[in-house]
A and B are shown apart, each in its own frame.
Chain A
Amino acid sequence: MAHSTASSSAPAHLQHHFVDSDQQFESSKMGMWIFLVTEILFFGGLFAAYIVYRAWYPDLYVQASTQLDTFWGAVNTAVLIGSSLTVAMAIRSAQLNQIKGLIINLYITIGLAFTFMVIKYFEYVHKFEKGIFPGQYYTYEGIAHEKANIFFSIYYMMTGLHGLHVIIGIGLMIWLLVKAKKGAFSAEYYTPVEITGLYWHLVDVIWIFLFPLLYLID
């Protein structure tokens, strides 16, 4: 309430235009959720392209997905789920004022995210060596389908954009780490950890869908 908090002294993290910490926290969280909506629709465009072409050329998808390595896809899925777990643990640590736990969990998360990108890098390189490039630069002859380039355009767009989100996520985690080490977070104020966590979980959710859609077509 406006007048009840006016008499108590305000915490340092509270911005002047909010009445109290709860309002600020809830606003930030809602803002992040709305941003996640835009992310879902952003990827939604690519999923729509995927579905349209899959409905047109079901054979293409079956043939082309043999070029993707299910094993490494599954490993990457596990890596991302593991990083989601550590982010959830990081938020828990912050909520309980265990700053050391927060920092350790953030380190593990960043490590897992790097692992994901390294595996992704080797997958890409492996394909480039075969001549599997997107669109007009596609030169691989192992797939007997005239639209094979389209599948890989969609594959590169989806995984590339997802990879970009992972990299942005790594940047955000490093930022959190720096702030956590400076002692910016506590059980009273951990909003950036919470909303970065939401973002990271969404990146995980998108990969949860990408994995079966791209790798597991048989």
Chain B
Amino acid sequence: METSALKRLQVQRFKPEENPEIHYLNSERGLWSWLSTVDHKRIGLMYLASIAIFFFIGGVLALVLRTELLSPAQSFLDADVYNQVFTLHGAIMIFFFLVPSVPAALGNFILPIQLGAKDVAFPRLNLASFYIYTIGTVFTLVAIITGAVDTGWTFYTPYSTETGTNVLLMTLGIFILGFSSILTGVNFIVTIHKMRAPGMTWSKLPLNVWSLYATSIIQVLATPVLAITLLLLVMERALGIGIFDPALGGDPVLFQHFFWFYSHPAVYIMIVPGFGVISEVISTFSRKHIFGYWAIALSSLAIAFIGFLVWGHHMFTAGQSSLASMVFSFLTFLVGIPTGIKIFNWLATMYKGSIDLKAPMLYAMVFLFLFTIGGFTGIMLGALSVDIHLHDTYFVVAHFHYVMMGGMVMALLAGLHYWWPKMFGKMYSEVYARISCALIFIGFNLAFLPQFVMGAQGMPRRYFNYIDQFQPFHQLSTMGAYIMGVGFVIMFFYLLHSLVRGEKAASNPWGSRALEWQTTSPAAPHNFEHTPVVIHGPYDYHKPMSEFQLGIAHGHHGESHQPETLETVAETGTRP
């Protein structure tokens, strides 16, 4: 390996070809070429299809719940079925949709392209983690069909060890999913360390890569604790080991410690990658260098770290010691600092930028609005005394929907619309995209703002019945849910339309300077036809586009190409 950091490279300009004949979607054909692919882009798309299916199932379940809640007392679900439906809604949305959404679907697709690599470090492992994910989902679906689970997605003991439902299969399924998450994390960390293109130094990494890096660290450090927790729960049910069972001398609060040691960092697995997407989108559509590059990059790592210190705020009323509660409450406030840093940096990026309100940017703005509300209410819930009042009410439900749906789902939609041309080489209808974004924004607020109010008034979460006083709020909420549903249906159809007869997309429809836009749309089978060489950061909008399209011609092993025309000779760092 080279010891000198600087080396003279001869590069030439590679302008991306428009409407390439051969790209990753058609370079191989047939179902088998998809199922056995090791191409990170195709694996990303397979994840995208899977999470879309699970988002649909989870969304339908949510509508079922909201319909039942339209009126007090029982309308068409009895209490047990209601419990099973909200458990499924939670477990599907979290483990099958949110956790793999941006990292596994968008991340798989875009991360190697953003690094200028041909693929992730371990392509076969990547495919394996997709199949592990599939096996995990099969387990869970079998668990649903053969008798649902009614514990909530948290599987708290001792109820989860006693209930007659299919906890065993469900937790095994999620245990398997954990492996998929871990392997993706391992793959991404190594890819970011070892697979960067020449000149792609740490200070030129796109912010999306930084946040995927932070996410992967959380996945690697937290998921094994979930695995051991679920394994202990499985053993508890199968062999009665009793570590969490008070009847056998165990301690149920210990289960909550273990569970939240994973699951609190896991909510950062579900939001930090969204931060990365938002950073990319806001810089691109403001035509401006990102404000506070290092502040945004390092605050992702800071959130990842602090996220490990705050899990006990889920247990303020669970009987943990008051000393622990006070420490956790204090530490929880600390998360607000790096998150605030990000929000202010995004606003500062937009300040005096040439803002172009295309669909991805609209979603990014919706994200800023909703996520800020979600974040602030999180601080309120982190305050020990306030939480005693608000714990397990609809206030909590509204809070985490503002963060998860208003945050992560909006970021996912921003990213999906942003990278859609790169994925499929087609444009979607901007008009319908805006209509659907507006419907989702209105529907979302209508659904969840009333829940803050009724939560503060004392409506407990997870109840299928309520007193008449709460009916107007529940009705508003249900209406909002349906409006959101209409928004998603419209999105489904215009995206489908785009796939079938959408306009062909240019290689760089947004005029971005980032590396992923300097290849063809859809991307080439190995991402780039050349080895890209990076001399500017991805947000340097003050530099001419030609300086972002540099590279070295390469063949596959053994052939050597001599560049025909040398346009630029750049001084650049080599692979570290």
Q: Which residues of A contact B (CB under 8 A)?
A: 1-3, 5-7, 9-10, 14-17, 19, 22-23, 26-28, 30-31, 34-35, 37-39, 41-46, 48-49, 52-53, 134-137, 146-147, 149-150, 153-154, 156-157, 161
Contacts and interface: CB of A to CB of B under 8 A. Distances in A.
B422 interface: no
A10 to B, nearest CB: 3
Q: Please classify the interface of chain A as helix (H, G, I), strand (E, B), loop, or mixed, using the class held by over half of its residues.
A: helix
A49 B554 contact: no
A42 B261 CA distance: 12
Given A7-B560, A14-B557, A149-B249, A30 B193 contact: yes
A24 to B, nearest CB: 9
B114 interface: no
Contacts of A161: 231
B472 interface: no
A31 B558 contact: no
Contact of B221 (A5, A19, A37): A37
Interface stretch (B53-61, B235-243, B409-417, B424-432): B235-243
A48 B187 CA distance: 28
Given A44-B225, A150-B249, A27 B190 contact: yes
Interface string B169-203: 00000000000001001110110011100100000
A135 B117 contact: no
A150 B248 contact: yes
Given A27-B121, A34-B186, A134-B239, A41 B224 contact: yes
Interface string B341-364: 000000000000000000000000
Interface in B427-451: none
Contacts of A19: 575
Contacts of A1: 2, 7, 198, 574-575
Given A10-B558, A42-B224, A147-B249, A31 B1 contact: no
Contacts of A22: 1
A137 B239 contact: yes
Contacts of A134: 235, 239-242
A135 B182 CA distance: 30
A153 B558 CA distance: 58
Nearest to B7: A1
Nearest to A39: B224
A176 B333 CA distance: 51
A157 B229 contact: no
Contacts of A146: 249
Contacts of A27: 121-122, 190, 193-195
Contacts of B286: none
Contact of B228 (A16, A31, A37, A45): A45
Contact of A30 (B194, B225, B248): B194
- The residue among B198, B240, B241, B526 with the most chain A CB atoms within 10 A of its own CB is B241
Contacts of B117: 17
Given A9-B557, A17-B117, A19-B575, A153 B258 contact: no
Q: Which of A22, A31, A136 has the most CB atoms of chain B within a 10 A radius of its CB?
A: A31
A135 B158 CA distance: 14
Contact of A49 (B7, B182, B254, B575): B254
